[in-house]
Amino acid sequence: MTQSTELDPEDRKIITLARSARARNGVAEGAAVRDETGRTYVAGTVELASLKLSALQTAVAMAVASGAKSLEAAAVVTEADRPAAADLSAVRDLGGPETPVLLAGPDGEVRTRA
């Protein structure tokens, strides 16, 4: 699957935001989620001595902390071949089992849709 015409413009937007977060912060992953009202939350990997969160976990936590009740979609930009199980769990906890998780490479090309 590629990012071109196969993606909804709103999904393309969260991939672009995730890429930007990764590049801007120089972190391993960038992520973005879209809540039930269309608001987006963008985050990068958090790596502190006392706290480690993936970019997607951070974006979900930001959505929850801002009052989101559900998620429409999530995207993560990473070198990995598939989303981590903990990332999928975080998205599904808030968005439900059908919430799409798009995994894209650093070039923005979608590799998988979970």
The predicted-structure confidence for 14-28, as pLDDT tens digits, reads as follows 999 999 999 999 999
Q: 97 φ, ψ to 5°?
A: -70, -20
pLDDT band at 5 (very low <50, low <70, confident <90, very high): very low
Measured distance CA(21)–CA(55) in Å, rounded:
9
Q: Each residue of 32-87: pLDDT tens digit?
A: 999 999 999 999 999 999 999 999 999 999 999 999 999 999 999 999 999 999 99
Give buried/exposed letters for 15-47 (b at 16+ CB in 10 A, else e).
bbbbbebbeeeebebbbbbbbeeeebbbbbbee
What pLDDT sits at residue 6?
77
12 SS3 class: helix
